Amino acid sequence: MNAARRLLQGHRPGDGPLRVLSASGQLGYGIPEAAFARGMARKPHFIGADMGSIDPGPYYLGSGEMAAPEAMVRRDLTLVLRAALDAGIPLVIGSAGTAGARPQLESVTALLHEIAREQGWSFRLATIASDVPADLVVQARQQGRLAAIGPMPEPSDDDIRACSHIVGQCGTETFARAFETDPDVILAGRACDTAIFAALPELLGYPAGLALHMAKIIECTSLCCRPGGRDAMLAELDLKGFTLESMNPDSHATPASVAAHALYEQADPFLVDEPGGTLYLADARYEALDNHRTRVSGARFEPRAQPTLKIEGARRLGARAVLIAGIADPTLLQVLDSVLEAVTAKVRALVPGDWQPVPHVYGCGAVRPLPAAQRATHEAGLVLEFIAPDALLARTAAAVYKQNLLHHGYPGRVSTAGNLAFPFTPGELDANEAYGFVLYHVMAGAPLTDIFRVEAHAVGGRAAEGN
């Protein structure tokens, strides 16, 4: 009998609170060991860890590479895996390798096998593949079952098929299927953050509203505390609510800090849409047990008739080169938009091909749109992207653009020596491949069982099977 079955057969809600330890809000960037050790000393029933999202942008989804350094991923995986195996409790990891696409899931799976081989460990692993076939998305778009989240442009069928990777966020129902394989460890591709921590409590019979609200908070570990941080977070869940406690004694879960976390990544702090329904928090209550812990109750969950599926997809835009420069001429800053337009037209005549400049003027609204009165008038940082089908054309466009912008004449110019200050030589820098989001949508009527493939793996010699 493996860890998941022992817990599912050995614990009932009436036995006492379920202790859930959140080890990391983004595994691979360092788990503070002292706080994690304190959490393990509290004898949790299972460990959960989120590993990523699309927050770092489209590059990692498009390329299939991990954002976190591999050495740190290996360190964090070893830490949580050793703790779970020594304690005989399940370990649940979601959004493998940052964006949860197939290459990232396979990379993290391979790391788990390597770690187990090096340490002499043996365990049963369940993986969840989250990749969505492009033709399925095209069909949903044609049938009107695809809705954008926010101001996303409508993708064409060709845009969708051009995505290098498309993933869906699996929910608690998919994790429930993975638990049927009796694993010690679950590693999911792209996953809803809450599902990592809510699936087991729901299977054990705890109210879905409480389980999901707890999961929504602890998936970020101690970010809900004052001061916030990355330390392990312990939740104790019962049938009427849950208690939150950071495993860092200097980081405190207060009613105000925990309640404020409802605004994290949410436009409405009282409604949280989940794959299977809606979490309502208007009646949630937050009560200080002492200066370190907060008790939460009152959340309720209403399932929808049919689950929806959030999908994410990215496509390659081209190779990218970057120019970084400083501007300290207030006259140039006043006319910068027209100067960039003029230089772009001049360089297009000199460098033929399908290249595109993308300017970011820091201090003049690059981070977010600023009223003109709030923009810098004395200096600004200029970051110019050049995206082209290949790196040579991107660098060529950047180099020619640099020289033309450096000596471009504009009304009121005093000096002809140069308009820009460059921090690096050469000024044009290679900046990896460029990817852009095509899909950030919700799909109705998605065949979840067909999309999310669950497989059981023997790590250290046990039999494996597919599901």
Cα(442)–Cα(195) distance, integer angstroms: 17
The answer to the question of residue 160 being in a domain is no
Cα(221)–Cα(234) distance, integer angstroms: 8
The answer to the question of residue 351 being in a domain is yes
| Burial class of residue 48 (count of CB atoms within 10 Å of its CB; 0-12, 13-18, 19+) | buried
pLDDT score for 420? 87
What is the β-pairing status of strands 233-237 and 242-246? antiparallel
pLDDT of 366 > 80? The answer is no
Q: Which residue has the tokens 């809450």?
A: 194
3-class secondary-structure state, position 174: helix
- pLDDT, mean of residues 364-381: 71
**pLDDT tier at 465 (50, 70, 90 boundaries)?**
very low
Question: Over pLDDT 70: what percentage of the chain?
Answer: 96
The answer to the question of residue 113 being in a domain is yes
What does the DSSP 8-state code read for residue 191? B
Q: Averaging pLDDT over each range in 38-47, 270-279, 401-410, 424-433, which range is the top one?
A: 38-47
Is there a single domain that holds both residue 67 and residue 207? yes
Is there a single domain that holds both residue 408 and residue 288? no
- pLDDT, mean of residues 135-150: 96
Task: Name the least confident of 67-71, 279-283, 420-424, 427-431.
Answer: 420-424
pLDDT of 230 > 80? The answer is yes
Cβ atoms of 63 and 85 within 8 Å: the answer is no
Is there a single domain that holds both residue 81 and residue 222? yes
Q: Which residue has the tokens 């705890």?
A: 206
**pLDDT tier at 8 (50, 70, 90 boundaries)?**
very high
Cα(73)–Cα(76) distance, integer angstroms: 5
pLDDT of 327 > 70? The answer is yes
Q: What is the mean pLDDT of the chain?
A: 93
3-class secondary-structure state, position 87: helix
pLDDT score for 463? 40
pLDDT score for 414? 82
Cβ atoms of 348 and 291 within 8 Å: the answer is no
pLDDT of 466 > 50? The answer is no
3-class secondary-structure state, position 202: helix
Is there a single domain that holds both residue 125 and residue 252? yes
Cα(90)–Cα(5) distance, integer angstroms: 9
pLDDT score for 421? 87
pLDDT score for 330? 87
Cα(89)–Cα(33) distance, integer angstroms: 18
The answer to the question of residue 48 being in a domain is yes
Is there a single domain that holds both residue 402 and residue 295? no
**pLDDT tier at 40 (50, 70, 90 boundaries)?**
very high
pLDDT of 425 > 90? The answer is no
pLDDT score for 265? 77
Question: Cα separations (Å) of 188 from 68, 197, 252, 352?
Answer: 17, 12, 30, 45
φ, ψ of residue 398 to 5 degrees: the values are: -65, -45
The answer to the question of residue 342 being in a domain is yes
The answer to the question of residue 135 being in a domain is no
pLDDT of 400 > 50? The answer is yes
Domain span at residue 14?
A: 3-130+169-307+445-459
Is there a single domain that holds both residue 195 and residue 253? yes
Is there a single domain that holds both residue 298 and residue 421? no
The answer to the question of residue 214 being in a domain is yes
The answer to the question of residue 153 being in a domain is no
**pLDDT tier at 306 (50, 70, 90 boundaries)?**
confident
What is the β-pairing status of strands 146-148 and 428-444? antiparallel
Number of structural domains the chain divides into: 2
pLDDT score for 262? 80
- pLDDT, mean of residues 279-288: 96
Cβ atoms of 77 and 97 within 8 Å: the answer is no
**pLDDT tier at 370 (50, 70, 90 boundaries)?**
low
- pLDDT, mean of residues 41-56: 95
Is there a single domain that holds both residue 382 and residue 269? no
List the CATH number of the domain containing 353: 3.30.70
Supply the pTM of this predicted model: 0.91
pLDDT of 155 > 70? The answer is yes
Cα(90)–Cα(84) distance, integer angstroms: 6
pLDDT digits (tens, 9 = 90+) for 68-127: 999 999 999 999 999 999 999 999 999 999 999 999 999 999 999 999 999 999 999 999
Higher pLDDT, 380 or 199: 199
pLDDT of 462 > 50? The answer is no
Is there a single domain that holds both residue 267 and residue 328? no
CA–CA–CA angle 298, 45, 81 (5° rounding) = 125
User: Angle formed by the axes of helices 3-10 and 193-204, to 10°?
Assistant: 50
